[in-house]
Structure 1
Amino acid sequence: MVLPTCLKRRHSLKGVRLVAAIKRIRGGQPQGLKEFARFQKDNKLDNLSMDDLRQQTPTTSANPVNVQMSGDIVQSSGDNNNNGTNKRKRDDLEDRIANLENTTKEEVVKNLKEKINSDIDLEKIEGRMDELDKRITCSSGHKRKKSFQGSFLQFLQDLDCKHLSVCTPDDIRRFLIWKDFSGKTTIHGVHCKHLGQKGEFDCFCPKRLASGTVEGVINQLVNIFDDNGFGRYWDIFSKSGNPACAPIVKEYLKLIREEQASAHVLPKQAKPIFLSKIKAMCSYIDREIKSPGLSLRERYILYRDRAWMKLQFFAGDRASDLSLVVAQEVKVLNDNSGLVFQHTFGKTLRGDKGKSNTFVIKKCDDLSICPVQGLLDYVNFCQVSTVDMSVGYLFRIVSEKGRVLDKAVNYSVMYERLRYYLSLLGIYEGETPHSFRSGCAVTMALSGAAENVDQAMKHIGWFGRTSAEYYSRIHTLFDAGSIALRLSQVANGSENIETVFKEQADYSSLVHVFNKE
């Protein structure tokens, strides 16, 4: 039998955290220890009183010591005769030990929770949660999503499909075909004389949803089932999971694409708007601003529209993003030659990996289309009209009573204004606010303002080459044209090309090396 350790002069508690040690040995059953050490071989430590412990502790130290507490750490004070101070410290230690012995685990946890709860302001937390929830529910994307989901669920109910769990891939296809009937893309037949043409024609060819729109509808359906716990996979054997991910739905999308490709339906692109039309609209606005009898509301709208259109073309920005510009983000260059804009929020700017769109707008010699001058004139008019433009949205809406509101002008407002000016001048050809972005990209490509696609991407704010090449049409404007020109110039020397081909590339007429004949 192994006897317990008997404490000698070499043993010490110096540097030991007592609270942690006491917690480990509470109840007299510390882990890995069958019995406590003893001061005397024949006297168990459990049988000693506090007075006995107090008397025995100094005799086990090499030097007379007084126990001092720093937090809950035991320290040695050496030959310190301040017995009153040491006694108080020992009493404090004994009180802490007694409190620990008389406190249960449940009481400690309860006291800790009460202390934490007293430091937490639940009202502020709930208020912040409500603020974030309102941002979600009030966003246009959330409203469109709820509207689409309601339309889909109503369609399922009309099919006697009471729950998403019983929806099948065939039900998904039925919904897609039902939506397809409300499309606006005409699918001309092979024998239709309008095949490959854009616009509205007096023919009996059906109208369908564009293939890109069909793909978007399928993605929304996938998200609806995923949000309701059905995942993003369809098991064809157990017929469970997300029916919008079924192979038959993917095959439906493939057939739609092939049908529209055979009908020569091309991807819809915004018609570019160029400087000639922008000059025409700005000249009209200049004349209207000078007209007598205009109200402040009408004059404000003219100044705002002129500044917006000039800036939109030279920035090449998204119309929705430009409308969200705030006055605080616009800065002037050191040489006063232009302005700097830095977008941090927009359609594709959502705080991901610190993305931002920074671009510079320079002054033009032609003041009739100068974006810097147009913006300065707009801000100066607002200041004269006692409208504070130092903070808040730069382009704002105005009420019927002529009050400028602290709300950003939206895409639909600028679309109506653009169509109004172009129609009034008799030059409207279906342009939208997105036409400014396309016109800027094409102008940069043809004028040499952007030497390559990367420069156009940096100015306009594209993060992918696909979008830049799509909107600027750089391959169509340069590659196809230059290749066609060079190809036409070699027509006279076509015989030489044929001879070279037969000699160096056509091996069909050569004789087999191992032919016996």
Structure 2
Amino acid sequence: MIRNEQLQAIITPKQATPLFSCTIDQLIISMNSEAVAVTSSRDWILLFLILGDNAMILMDLYALKRPTELGATRVEGIIRFPDDSGFLFNYLWGKTLRSGDEHVFGIRRLSDKSKCPISALEDYLLLMKILKLNIARGILFRPVRLGMIQNSPINRGQMNSNPKYWLQKVGLFNGETFFSIRTAGAIELFLEGSDLQQVMGQAYLKTERIARHYMKVWQVLGMLSSGEVENISTKNDLELNAAQAFVRVFV
């Protein structure tokens, strides 16, 4: 069976340490417990930060955005589906405004509210409304400076400190950043059966060379002992076959 520790080891120099969904599940449990405690103490600014972190991490788990793009998400770029089944997001994609392309994508509501990015965003927006913040226009994920909530993008350093704080809290920090969610998401999509073009579309990776850099899937194969390979379940047997197919494409 491909274990989380083996997946976590898929790193090379200059590549973000992957932050897989099984680890994010542990972070969300820690965040939810913290949110309950903070609500009792009525520390609304701290609750704002926790709910914002929760929503950002869960949203990026499904959207696979760059940290700077996620931090610059604007409220007016979000549209609720008519049947209330999710949100539609409209981004100007690109590292610079001049190279920007429109990027529209949707995120569906999940039945498990604790892991649902839509539910997390709704909780966060409700608190923003309670705090009398403008939720009609402006930046969605807002930083706090000197105890005041700012209507400005969260910078890259702050974005990366968010998962670091929660990973350290549960004793799992291994150098991960917000970029790690995108790296792991691309790998997980492929192992779950998505083809290369589907992964590139979801993670908005424009070339196969970039996708190859993100998805070092074949390295998982070298981390499996013969005994582990023999004990692979049906699901993981399919994952191993997918990884082997990936090797044939890129090696």
Which TM-score tier does this pair reach, normalised by the shorter chain?
A: 0.7 to 0.9
Cα deviation digits, residues 270-307 of structure 1 (max 9, x gap): 11111222111111111111112242211110111100
Paired residue secondary structure (2:47): helix
- Alignment match, 1:240: none
Alignment partners' CA distance in 2, 1:470 and 1:483: 13
| RMSD over aligned Cα atoms | 2.4
Q: Percent identity?
A: 25
Once the 2 structures are TM-superposed, how far is the Cα of residue 427 of structure 1 from its aligned partner?
1.0
- Alignment match, 2:184: 439
Alignment partners' CA distance in 1, 2:135 and 2:246: 52
C-alpha spacing 1:304/1:266, structure 2 compared with 1 (3 Å): closer
Paired residue secondary structure (2:115): coil
Q: Does residue 411 in structure 1 map to residue 156 in structure 2?
A: yes
Q: Which protein is bigger by CA-based radius of gyration?
A: 1
Cα deviation digits, residues 112-160 of structure 1 (max 9, x gap): xxxxxxxxxxxxxxxxxxxxxxxxxxxxxxxxxxxxxxxxxxxxxxxxx
Superposed, 1:60-71 pairs within 5 Å as none
Q: Does residue 328 in structure 1 map to residue 76 in structure 2?
A: yes
The aligned amino acid for 1:343 is Y
Q: Does residue 389 in structure 1 map to residue 135 in structure 2?
A: yes
Alignment partners' CA distance in 1, 2:127 and 2:191: 36
2:62 aligns with one of 314, 326, 339: 314
Count matched residues.
Answer: 216
C-alpha spacing 1:334/1:473, structure 2 compared with 1 (3 Å): farther
Alignment partners' CA distance in 1, 2:246 and 2:160: 38
Segments ≥4 residues shifted beyond 2 Å: 265-268, 333-336, 349-352, 472-484
Alignment partners' CA distance in 1, 2:31 and 2:244: 38
Paired residue secondary structure (2:105): strand
Superposed, 1:196-275 pairs within 5 Å as 266-275=12-21
Alignment partners' CA distance in 2, 1:267 and 1:399: 33
The aligned amino acid for 1:307 is A
Cα deviation digits, residues 152-181 of structure 1 (max 9, x gap): xxxxxxxxxxxxxxxxxxxxxxxxxxxxxx
Contact kept in structure 2, 1:344 and 1:351, CA below 8 Å: no
- Alignment match, 1:481: 244
Cα deviation digits, residues 417-439 of structure 1 (max 9, x gap): 21111111111111111100011
- Alignment match, 2:4: none
Contact kept in structure 1, 2:16 and 2:180, CA below 8 Å: yes
Alignment partners' CA distance in 2, 1:297 and 1:479: 45
Q: Which has the higher contact order (CA 8 A, sep 6+)?
A: 2
Paired residue secondary structure (2:90): strand
C-alpha spacing 1:437/1:453, structure 2 compared with 1 (3 Å): same
Once the 2 structures are TM-superposed, how far is the Cα of residue 474 of structure 1 from its aligned partner?
5.1
The aligned amino acid for 2:216 is R
C-alpha spacing 1:281/1:464, structure 2 compared with 1 (3 Å): same
- Alignment match, 1:169: none
Once the 2 structures are TM-superposed, how far is the Cα of residue 478 of structure 1 from its aligned partner?
5.2
- Alignment match, 1:379: 125
Q: Does residue 464 in structure 1 map to residue 207 in structure 2?
A: yes
Alignment partners' CA distance in 1, 2:77 and 2:242: 38
Cα deviation digits, residues 337-367 of structure 1 (max 9, x gap): 22111211542x5243x62222221112221
